[in-house]
Amino acid sequence: MPSALSATPAVLTVELDPAQIMGQRPPEPLSRDNAEVLAAPIADDLRRIVGEEIAESGFVMPAALYDLTELLRPGLPMVEALLDVYRGSLRGGPFIPQLLALGSNAGRFPESAIAPLRRPGSGPLLALPFALVAPGEQLDPLRRQLEAVLLEKGRAGLATDRALRQLMGVEPVNLSYATFHDLSALMKVQLEHAQFGDLWRLIEGALYRPDQIEDCQLQSGNRFLGTSGDVWTPWLSLDAWAAHHNADAETAIRGYGEWVRHQRQYHSGLESHGIAVHAVAPTRGVESSDAEVALSVARAHEIEPQQPWYREVITDDPGTEQAAIVTLTEHADPPLGPVAYTAHVQTGDGRSVSLIHDYPVQPAGMQAIIGHWQARAEALGAQWRLERPGRIVATGQPAALQPWFDTEGNA
């Protein structure tokens, strides 16, 4: 009995001039007819590079360009989707080597799960993925051969270059073939060169070591715990950062800004690869040097996604029915934008009722925090003020966030 069908993925990398694609979207997927026109010279390239025996395997290709982050995702969903498409084309019959090119129809991609995102700013290195399909024992030697020769000998032919230019309207600087492992190695070099080696370790773990725990602790104090394709990260407030370092206001504002910058960069980088990032409330045990203990605590204290902020309560008098004024101070770092909000609830005679710091743990958290406190003021029948001093307001040693008091002037 023949073994089950298997797939081995590869890509045609399309390097573009960064100046020509700045802020633009990758081109739209090709139509079904044009997809077949492009697939033919690519198949010819593979026969030239790998050998005629490649024709004994099936070939399936979406005729679209993807950012590398769309392909290198936990579980490699692109590969599974292409294998499913090929299986479906056999309609339950025996394996037959054939060429399948997936193109759009009336502006819609046939497989929505793998439709290209076409995000502005993608590239300058884009990829056109494809998969070779065959029964497992037949595909194994071909897979090894691809890994051995594709990157070294894999320059695309003139016919492929011409087809891409004419059909997709791009001007490639370089066209070459690579396996998914080659893409991983390339991304590793790029991220390590940009001083994001720990980010790559988290991504690589999600791709190839999902059963292990990756524990990345940065010098800035950020911590990321990855396993099973997800990452958990404890959240720090400015007050907590300052207390840990016994820092004055100037030092805390600078150091906490670095912490927030790394937090946002890693969050964005991980999510671009389809890796879910879970913010965690700071809790005893999450700082444990034992990664398994820290991860267990982190999972149990995840901040609920429907409330995309971390709340630090300084004072909170339950007698809020006396509230007359609700002032929300937006603490902003010029390069980063808003990093925290301080809600100050007062009575009519100026007595403080509540002082609460809210930290957006997701981009949506900024407007969510403002909306929450504005609605709270309306519910209390209190005057509502939103102050934007354009900086982080903190005093003391260790430093602590403060509201933007009227004595400092209205922002």
Residue 291, pLDDT > 60, answer: yes
How much is the mean pLDDT over the chain?
93
- pLDDT interval class at 320 (50, 70, 90): low
pLDDT (0 to 100) of residue 410: 42
Do 244 and 342 fall into the same domain? no
- pLDDT confidence bin for 108, thresholds 50/70/90: confident
Residue 20 has pLDDT above 80, yes or no: no
- Does pLDDT of 1 surpass 90? no
Q: Are residues 187 and 261 in the same domain?
A: no
107 pLDDT band (50/70/90 cuts)?
Answer: confident
Confidence of residue 406 (pLDDT cuts 50, 70, 90): low
pLDDT for the residue numbered 169? 93
End-of-domain residue from the set 265, 300, 335: 300
What tokens appear for 340 in the block? 């925290």
Range of the domain at 202: 197-300
Looking at the fold, whether 289 and 377 belong to one and the same domain comes out as no
- Rounded to 5 degrees, φ, ψ at 26 are -60, 160
Hey, what amino acid is at 343? A
pLDDT, residue 319, reads: 59
| Same domain membership, residue 366 and residue 264 | no
Same domain, 287 and 318: no
Q: How many domains does the chain have?
A: 3
Shared-domain flag, residues 12 and 149: yes
What does the pLDDT read at residue 408? 46
What are 133-161's pLDDT values in tens digits? 999 999 999 999 999 989 888 899 999 99
Are 82 and 181 within one domain?
yes
Residue 226: what pLDDT?
A: 98
Summarize pLDDT for 67-101 with one digit per residue, the tens.
Answer: 999 999 999 999 999 999 999 999 989 999 999 99
Lowest mean pLDDT among 17-26, 111-120, 210-219, 346-355: 17-26
Clarify whether residues 28 and 83 are in a common domain.
Answer: yes
* Residue that wins the pLDDT comparison between 317 and 246: 246
Given a cut of 50, whether residue 361 has pLDDT beyond it is yes
Mutual angle of helices 180-193 and 136-153, in 10-degree steps: 40
pLDDT at 411 > cutoff 70: no
Q: For residue 3, is pLDDT > 80?
A: no
End of a domain among 266, 300, 334? 300
DSSP characters for 220-263?
TS-EEEEETTEEEEE---HHHHHHHHT--HHHHHHHHHHHHHHH
What span, in angstroms and rounded, lies between the C-alpha atoms of 175 and 12?
7
Give the pLDDT confidence score for residue 111 in this predicted structure: 80
| Domain identity same for 32 and 175 | yes
* 13 & 117 share domain: yes
Banded pLDDT at 173 (limits 50, 70, 90): very high
Domain boundary among 191, 219, 244: 191
Q: Could you tell me if 104 and 29 lie in one domain?
A: yes
Torsions phi, psi for 319 (to 5 deg): -80, 50
For residues 35 and 171, membership in a common domain is answered with yes
pLDDT of residue 2: 58
Residue 378 burial by Cβ neighbours in a 10 Å radius (0-12, 13-18, 19+):
exposed
Q: Is the peptide bond before 398 cis (omega within 30 degrees of 0)?
A: yes
